[in-house]
Amino acid sequence: MKKTLLKTTSVALAFTGVLATTAPVYANDNVIATVGEEQITQDEFYQAMKNLSGEITLRTMILEQVLMQNVDDVEASRKAADDAVAQQIEEAGGEETFQQLLDYQQLGSIEKYTYQLFINNMFQEVIEKGIDKSDEAIQDFYENGYEPTMEAQHILTETEEEANAALERVKGGEEFDAVAKEVSKDSTAENGGLLTPFVSGQMVAEFEEAVKATANGEITQEPVKSQYGYHVIKVINNGEKKPLEEVREEVEQQYVNSKLADAQFSYSIIGDLIEQTGVEINDEDLKGAVNDLLEIAKMPESVESPADTSGEDESASEEAPAEEAPAEDASAEEVAEEAAKESAE
């Protein structure tokens, strides 16, 4: 199962667990527990709960309502989450196996996980709505942030002799895919050596340089040595920067991903929505529940660096040519996940 399927991301925490334990408790003198000769009233219980997690719980509930009031179709977001989980269950081999995977990741029940995906769907929708997608913004990103993607197949061997033998077979007319499946030591062998599209900096330098130096559709004339072994590379796309009109869709997607990877931008959008929707907190003790988000919304947008948008080759083994990806700024999903951790605490 892909990592992204089990990485829980929700703006407003683990809602199903939080909301199930925070039903309204009315402040009165009704006794809800007796310990020896001492009594615990609803008023005492409410005050203790408020002191322990009042702001976090209220923040959770506010964020949920703000999201629901600012998406186009709440039920469509809910259905998308249901459909995604149904597909994941099928890929995992059934509910029992899928629940075991959730348990391993400490993600709770299938129902809770589904609800978290629903919240994340709404979160991503409202963030994307706040992204400036004007021609000027796209042009600026194309000139200053866009990284052309590269695509390639490779055959990875342990020795130079093995790589040369594979290269000769391909030059002799054998299909690259077939040779890769038979010879390559990399986990991509079953896919004919096909790697996930990548951008500059995601592969070890020797591999990337060889791809850039080879024409599209061509094969490296000699094996390329890296720390993983010897590569025979077939270049599909060498990453040459094409005119904007030819790659506009790719540029726009990379631009949107770069904005979603900007934590301050995501927080700012949520803060703006809280202010626009209108939130009035009457309890003086809980007034600060969303103050940090309102403050971030007032801050100028930070200057961003280009974000990694193509993702890793998730099927790659330790022998794959990809470098360990550098840590990025928190993404929109990670922002949501951090909120979930706060609520759990």
142 part of a folded domain: no
CATH number at residue 174: 3.10.50.40
344 part of a folded domain: no
Are residues 117 and 13 both part of a single domain? yes
Are residues 168 and 122 both part of a single domain? no
Are residues 85 and 167 both part of a single domain? no
| pTM of the shown model | 0.58
String of DSSP letters for 15-34: HHHHHHT------S--EEEE
Count the neighbouring beta carbons within 10 Å of the beta carbon of residue 64: 19
- Specify the number of domains making up the chain: 2
Are residues 271 and 206 both part of a single domain? no
Residue 39: partners with Cβ closer than 8 Å, 6 or more residues away:
31, 33
Query: Which residue range is the domain that position 70 belongs to?
Result: 3-130+263-303
Are residues 94 and 165 both part of a single domain? no
60 contacts 343 by C-beta, under 8 angstroms: yes
Are residues 204 and 278 both part of a single domain? no
Are residues 49 and 158 both part of a single domain? no
319 part of a folded domain: no
C-alpha count within 13 angstroms, C-beta hemisphere, residue 172: 9
Q: pLDDT 10s digit of each residue in the chain, 345 long?
A: 444 444 434 333 333 333 333 444 444 458 999 999 999 999 899 899 989 888 988 988 999 999 999 999 999 999 999 999 999 999 999 999 999 999 999 999 999 999 999 998 999 999 999 999 999 999 999 999 999 999 999 999 999 999 999 999 999 999 999 999 999 999 999 999 999 999 999 999 999 999 999 999 999 999 999 999 999 999 999 999 999 999 999 999 999 989 988 888 888 898 899 989 998 998 888 888 888 888 887 776 544 433 343 444 433 443 455 443 333 344 445 544 544 444 444
245 part of a folded domain: no
